Chain A
Amino acid sequence: MRRYAAGFGLLIVTLAAAVPQAQETDRARVFYNMANSLGMLRTVREVDSVMTVEVWGRGTIRDVAANGALGPETQVKSLYAQFAYDFPGMRVEVVRTSGQRTIEVVSGTYAWNEIDKLGGGLEPGYGSATPAMDQVAVRLLRMWMTPFGAVKAARAAGDQAKVTVEGGRTVVTFPLVEGKPEQTVYMVVGELKGTPMKMTLDDRYRPAQVEVTFRGRKYVNTYSNYGDLNEADLKADIFVPAHVVATVDGQTALDLTIDKTNTYNPYVIMPVPPAVLKTR
């Protein structure tokens, strides 16, 4: 009987330890917990080791113009996205059910659309690239609003980040800060510099919602159903939301189901094509 009681007590202690209560307001502990909960802190040194990620998904999407205006909703047959938080850059290839294919890229303070091929425009005769410089800020915003991006941005803000509790949830509020090229995570925020970002964490300190108001529009991303979405023989213990909903001024811009990821820092680069470099 005593053994049973002791076992029961141990179970309660174990459960309490396994499910952290997201009411912590100590900034350093919250920074650690949110990065740790996503699996970003690796090796015995526990350093942020998630630099590049590939994502495959499907759902619905509406194009977001530079001023935040939304286009018509279309069905996404397949979405393939690359994130490189060290470049920093993002490449998103969307194939709609209509057959239309778009490849949008941001790298540092350059943005462009690749035509025909991923990496179009980098090599003569291999696709082409069309500058989209008016999209830099909106695309950088999308990148830094991803779960890994938001956590990295909060940690980069350091002492400027504030941790509060709202409705029982831990909330981290911070301005987007500009980083330096020599830093492993290179925070390039351009026009977003100083823009406040609000991140609400779930009960495991993972980003559940990220909000930013920019150029008078409110961007809200909601993340749920976290899991290691790498293929069964390539698990990395790095956790990504399987469901992503992005809204602009309350209207759904993206409703994405993520089917698969590669979080093993896959080979991803975003050099700026010569034709795009010439635009500045």
Chain B
Amino acid sequence: MKQRMVIGIGAFVTALTLTSAQIAAQFGGPPAPGAAAMKEAASRPTPKRPDGVPDFTGIWVQTRSRAASVPAALDTTTGSYKNVLQGRTGNPVDFERDSGVSQRVVPREARPWYKPQYWERVQFNDVHGHSAKAPDPEFLCMPPGVPRLGIPQEIVQTDRHMIFTYPLHIRRIYIDGRDHPPEEQWLGTWLGYSVGRWEGDTLVISTVDFNGQEWLGWPGWFTSPDKKVTERMRRVGNTLTWEAEVSDSLLLQPWKTGPVTRMLDANPRPEIEEPLPCVERDLQHIVTRERG
């Protein structure tokens, strides 16, 4: 969240210093990765490793253009981005409230269905997520956990394991046929212990051994150390699709998230910028429960 805020402020400041033509060229002009680009990427041959399994190695980038992400925010005639941070009335308070309301619009099937004895705790977490009473661990710069991390930014694959990198985080997925460690050896970790196996061309990752401090999502969706996560990843041409299913003793039924599809970075010499460090400095200054 804090990172998003920093990025948002950065984009806002950058936008103010650009001319409308520059902005249009950067965000409004072609080529905008979208459905056509996805279709083309998916039509490419899927590279395989010597042992015959798909090769996931590469940097996987978002398939939506910036322009597609914030179409109403940019006035290409003026280059104005003021609404990005300020909400529809131009008032920063409204930005917080708009964002707080809209971020909680989650379709019923996309909400984890907690057992009723945990409803009050979810509600409490939700309204106190930016206070010391029930802080969202991600707000405190703790690891988001799995599957909140989402689809990896970069994958490095060997015959024995895969390295998933995310901004600020890294996971190892063992694909050498091992099982999870026995439960008595579990450590209780943020990202869990992950083993993968191939079902045809789909990589199925099973992850256990969590600490129960990580949340599934921003609106107070807490978890327990019983959480088990199954991720399914499939490469088709130069696209990678990820989805996950969570089972937890807190839930009435497994919770699913995704699918999310990304494209391989087509740059022959791609790079990833160093992410900004996450440093929590806001908690003591927050005086309301509004958060967006």
A residues apposed to B, CB below 8 Å: 41-47, 49-52, 84, 86-87, 117-120, 122-123, 126-127, 184, 186, 231, 233-238, 262-267, 269, 271
Given A43-B102, A44-B73, A122-B252: A86 touches B107 (CB 8 Å cut-off): yes
Central interface residue in A43, A46, A237, by most chain B CB within 10 Å: A43
Q: Which of A44, A84, A117, A237 contacts B83 (CB 8 A)?
A: A44
Decide if B252 touches A236 in the complex (CB within 8 Å).
no
Given A118-B119, A267-B122: A237 touches B289 (CB 8 Å cut-off): no
24 A-B residue contacts at CB 8 Å? A42-B98, A42-B101, A43-B99, A43-B102, A44-B73, A44-B88, A49-B105, A86-B107, A87-B108, A118-B119, A122-B115, A123-B116, A233-B290, A234-B289, A236-B101, A262-B123, A264-B126, A265-B101, A265-B105, A266-B126, A267-B119, A267-B123, A269-B111, A271-B113
Q: B180-220: which have CB < 8 Å to A?
A: 219-220
* Closest chain B residue to A46, Cβ basis: B88
Query: How long is the Cα–Cα vector from A95 to B209 in the complex, in angstroms?
Result: 43
Chain B nearest CB from A5 CB (Å) reads 28
Given A233-B288, A267-B126, A267-B220: A49 touches B101 (CB 8 Å cut-off): yes
Decide if A234 touches B127 in the complex (CB within 8 Å).
yes
Interface size on B, residues (CB 8 A): 36
Given A126-B117, A267-B119: A262 touches B99 (CB 8 Å cut-off): no
Given A234-B290, A236-B97, A267-B219: A126 touches B102 (CB 8 Å cut-off): no
Chain A nearest CB from B117 CB (Å) reads 6
Q: B50-109: which have CB < 8 Å to A?
A: 72-73, 83-84, 87-88, 94, 97-102, 104-108
Decide if A117 touches B116 in the complex (CB within 8 Å).
yes
Decide if B72 touches A45 in the complex (CB within 8 Å).
yes
Query: How long is the Cα–Cα vector from A86 to B109 in the complex, in angstroms?
Result: 10
Query: Using Cβ atoms and an 8 Å threshold, which residues of chain B touch A263?
Result: 101
Query: How long is the Cα–Cα vector from A118 to B117 in the complex, in angstroms?
Result: 8
Chain B nearest CB from A274 CB (Å) reads 11
Q: Which of A84, A120, A266 contacts B116 (CB 8 A)?
A: A120
Q: B153-197: which have CB < 8 Å to A?
A: none
Q: A265-B105, A267-B219 are in contact. List 19 more A-B contacts (CB 8 A).
A: A41-B88, A42-B97, A42-B98, A43-B98, A43-B102, A51-B105, A87-B108, A119-B115, A119-B116, A122-B116, A127-B116, A233-B289, A236-B100, A236-B290, A265-B219, A266-B104, A266-B126, A267-B126, A269-B119
Q: Which of A44, A50, A117, A120 contacts B101 (CB 8 A)?
A: A50
Query: Using Cβ atoms and an 8 Å threshold, which residues of chain B touch A186?
Result: 108
Interchain pairs with CB closer than 8 A, number: 106
* CB-CB nearest 3 A-B residue pairs: A119-B116, A265-B104, A233-B288
Query: Using Cβ atoms and an 8 Å threshold, which residues of chain B touch A122?
Result: 115-116, 252
Query: Using Cβ atoms and an 8 Å threshold, which residues of chain B touch A235?
Result: 97, 288, 290
Given A117-B116, A233-B288: A86 touches B101 (CB 8 Å cut-off): no
Query: Using Cβ atoms and an 8 Å threshold, which residues of chain A touch B252?
Result: 122-123, 271
Chain B nearest CB from A119 CB (Å) reads 2
The answer to whether the Cβ of B276 comes within 8 Å of any Cβ in the partner chain is no
The answer to whether the Cβ of B287 comes within 8 Å of any Cβ in the partner chain is yes
Query: Using Cβ atoms and an 8 Å threshold, which residues of chain B touch A87?
Result: 108
Query: How long is the Cα–Cα vector from A122 to B290 in the complex, in angstroms?
Result: 32
Chain A nearest CB from B15 CB (Å) reads 14
Query: Using Cβ atoms and an 8 Å threshold, which residues of chain A touch B102?
Result: 42-43, 47, 49
Chain B nearest CB from A54 CB (Å) reads 8
Decide if B107 touches A184 in the complex (CB within 8 Å).
yes
* Closest chain A residue to B121, Cβ basis: A267
Given A42-B98, A45-B72, A126-B115: A234 touches B108 (CB 8 Å cut-off): no
Decide if B108 touches A269 in the complex (CB within 8 Å).
yes
Query: Using Cβ atoms and an 8 Å threshold, which residues of chain A touch B94?
Result: 237
Query: How long is the Cα–Cα vector from A204 to B108 in the complex, in angstroms?
Result: 31
* Closest chain A residue to B111, Cβ basis: A269
Decide if B116 touches A126 in the complex (CB within 8 Å).
yes
Decide if B107 touches A262 in the complex (CB within 8 Å).
no
